[in-house]
Structure 1
Amino acid sequence: MLNAEDLVAVDVHTHAEISKSGHRSLSPALFGASTEYFKAEGHRQPSIAEMADYYRQRNMAAVVFTVDAEHATGHPRIANEEIAESCAEHSDVLIPFASIDPWKGQAGVREARRLVTEHGVRGFKFHPSIQACWPNDPMAYPLYGAIEELGVPALFHTGQTGIGAGVPGGGGIRLKYANPMLIDDVAVDFPELRIILAHPSVPWQDEALAVATHKPHVHIDLSGWSPKYFPPQLVRYANSLLQDKVLFGSDYPVITPDRWMADFDELEIKPHVRPKILKDNAVKLLGL
């Protein structure tokens, strides 16, 4: 089992990109666009076992998930059960999250309950832009209610996305769904739901900071960007008002923890805040 005291860091944002059968989490067109956007040419899609070895070698733990956007994209997801079972085989370093398309309605609610109670899932990932769903759409509320009741976090993609970038029409992906201010409604309507706003939320960074400052259970992860490109106001808040609510995330495998950490070392983060971001805040939030 995972021993948080021995870890250097907890990466709260990594992607399972390929199943045991070779099925990809994204269509070839969207995967290629993401690779180009992150300048990650040549990056391979590691298996979950390979992800475990990677993080074990670095004495880190990682949250692992895929994205279920079957309704909008028509592309079948990687099974949540497979991710949970694979993470369970490497429970010293991997923490399974699931993803359920909000368009699945009550079937999604039943699945969420089953995944937590029977498969050990520790949280849920939403990507409003790819799922083509407003985060505050009442359609999703029964699912959020179940997640709140189960006592696990919900992680929402916010801001720009590399998925679909450069593809004609952005691959049909609309950025408007990813404004973090929309998640403020979710935080109001589900006051005990622990929420993570993923990524520097460009072009809505100030909105994300406002929501995280105002709502006690809203956090921000720092994935998807090299720290050298973080908006200056995000760095200021991470050093002060939000020092207990900001989390290390890489977006592995398109951004590796090695690259992220090297740039984070150069960031002007106060010495007592650095361990909070890298590990302590995640340990508390995830109950490790």
Structure 2
Amino acid sequence: MIIDAHLHCTGRETTDDVLRTLDEAGIDVGVLLAPFLGDGYSLDDAASLRRANEHLARLVRHHPDRLVGFAVVDPRHPDAPDDLRHAIEDLGLRGCKMVPTGWYPYEERVQPVFAVANEHALPLLFHSGIFIDGRSGRFCRPTYFEALRDHPRTRVALAHMGWPWTDEALAVALIDRIHGVPHERAQFRLDISFGPPPPYRREVLTRMLDVLGAGSLQFGSDCFLPCSGAHVRERKQWVVDLMDELDLGADTRERMWSGTAAAWLGLPATAGTHAGAHASTHAGSNSDRPHAGLLAGTGGGGGGGGDYAPRPWRPVCC
């Protein structure tokens, strides 16, 4: 099974559009984010976000097995806690995406939204790291999301591995591992969608696997719908190529393609895999266990614990 844990809606897509894209791309389940970037939707306009959530609810309503809808709210708006509650309880959406722009995750004024999310034990997806459109990423440093630990029932995914602050993102997620929390019950995990530029991707992913393990990493294409299945498939292929370079084993790949996201979403675990996902899977003995020395504080280098042997990298996209 493959879960695309990061798909943007624009308000122009139909349910048929989305299902066709997923089928063409070989994606079993898509996490769809309510529109908030253009086409009449804006984080600055609370009414537009309500319309966005209603659009998404209609889009996913009849396909709960394949489409998981995430509301979008902006905690700066006074009615945001009520809007999130309505989206979950009345519209049937199953998680929430938030983008810190103009607010910091540790501010008192945004905690009421997090409290509603905690009440419902929601999976949350946050933009973390810089933006590519010129906005300042100063609100999105990964360590700022430690404030979510005051809301321990939330299940948090930090998008883009926090690039360029990937070590910060790793440190935030590592706390669960240090305390022995199983991957499926961890509060934090990292979305590996478009973030580090190609020359950095192998290095960053290697470090994440060595320290956190694949159970803390999940695939997301970060594509904007409506789009062709080929577009999503291209993003998926970037990950396949990188997995092949690192000679990752089947269990590690399965966790990154679906296992981590399924636990985040509260979906049933499945042993099935999509036929197209693992065409290049290597039958190795790679372990998902993070490097024992790192967790024990005794040091240790990348690739320790027999996870995989580093190889010369090649750019996977441009």
Task: Note if contact 2:3-2:27 (Cα within 8 Å) is conserved in structure 1.
Answer: no
Q: Compute the displacement of 1:261 (Å).
A: 2.1
Change (3 A) 1:12 1:204: same
Instruction: State the Cα distance separating 1:240 from its structure 2 match.
Output: 5.0
Once residues 207 and 87 of structure 1 are traced to their aligned partners in structure 2, the CA distance between those partners, rounded to angstroms, is: 34
Aligned length: 243
Q: Which residue of 1 aligns with 2:156?
A: 195
Matched, 1:286 2:302: no
User: What's 1:247 paired with?
Assistant: 218
Residue in structure 2 matched with residue 186 of structure 1 by the alignment? 148
Distance 1:225 1:202, change over 3 A: closer
Q: RMSD between aligned alpha carbons?
A: 2.5
Shift of 1:181: 0.7
The secondary structure found in structure 1 opposite 2:146 is: helix
Does the CA-based 8 Å contact 2:124-2:157 persist in structure 1?
A: yes
- Give the C-alpha shift of residue 16 in structure 1: 0.3
Q: CA deviation at 1:60?
A: 1.9
1:260 aligns with 2:211: no
8 Å CA contact 2:194, 2:221 repeated in 1: yes
1:35-58 Cα distance to aligned partner (Å, 9 max, x none): xxxxxxxxxxx4443122211342
* Structure 1 residues 269 and 250, CA gap change in structure 2 (3 angstroms): farther
Equivalent residues of 1:227, 1:264 under 8 A apart: no
SS, match of residue 151 in structure 1 = coil
Alignment of 1:34-45 (within 5 A): none
- Which amino acid is the alignment partner of residue 262 of structure 2? V
CA distance in structure 2 between the aligned counterparts of 1:155 and 1:90, rounded to whole angstroms: 21
Aligned-pair distance for 1:192? 2.2
Partners of 2:218 and 2:257 within 8 A in 1 = yes
Aligned to 1:210: 171
Find the aligned partners of 1:239 and 1:269 in 2 and give their Cα distance.
14
Q: Alpha carbons of 1:191 and 1:261: their partners in 2 closer, same or farther (altered >3 Å)?
A: same
TM-score of the pair, normalised by structure 1: 0.76
The percentage of counterpart residues that share the same residue type is 26
User: What is the CA-CA distance between 1:224 and the residue it aligns to?
Assistant: 2.2
Going from structure 1 to structure 2, the CA distance change for 1:120 and 1:239 (only over 3 Å counts) comes to farther
- Taking structure 1 as reference, are residues 115 and 73 closer, same or farther at Cα in structure 2, changes over 3 Å only? closer
* Structure 2 equivalent of residue 28 of structure 1: none
Aligned to 2:204: 233
Q: Which residue of 2 aligns with 1:151?
A: 121
Please, which runs of 5 or more residues in structure 1 have no aligned partner?
1-7, 20-45, 165-169
Structure 1 residues 144 and 269, CA, compared in 2 at 3 Å: closer, same or farther? farther
| Alpha-carbon distance in structure 1 between the residues aligned to 2:239 and 2:136 | 30
Q: Which amino acid aligns with 1:285?
A: W
The code of the aligned residue for 1:113 comes to R
Match of 1:50 in 2: 17
**1:76, distance to aligned residue in structure 2 (A):** 3.5
Runs of at least 5 residues in structure 2 that lack an aligned partner in the other structure: 177-185, 268-318
How far does the alpha carbon of each residue in 1:235-274 deviate from its partner, in whole angstroms, 9 at most, with x for none? 3323552321111101013893311221222221521210
Q: Higher mean Cα deviation, 238-247 or 109-118? A: 238-247
- 1:136: how far off? 1.3
**Secondary structure of the structure 2 residue equivalent to 1:102:** coil
Q: How does 1:30-179 map to 2 (within 5 A)?
A: 46-57=13-24, 58-66=26-34, 68=36, 70=42, 72=44, 76-77=48-49, 78-105=51-78, 107-129=79-101, 132-162=102-132, 164=133, 170=134, 173-179=135-141
Q: Is the partner of 1:97 in helix, strand or coil?
A: strand
- Give the structure-2-normalised TM-score: 0.70
Q: Equivalent residue for 2:307?
A: none
Deviation at 1:59, TM superposition (A): 4.2
- Higher mean C-alpha deviation, range 61-70 or range 147-156: 61-70
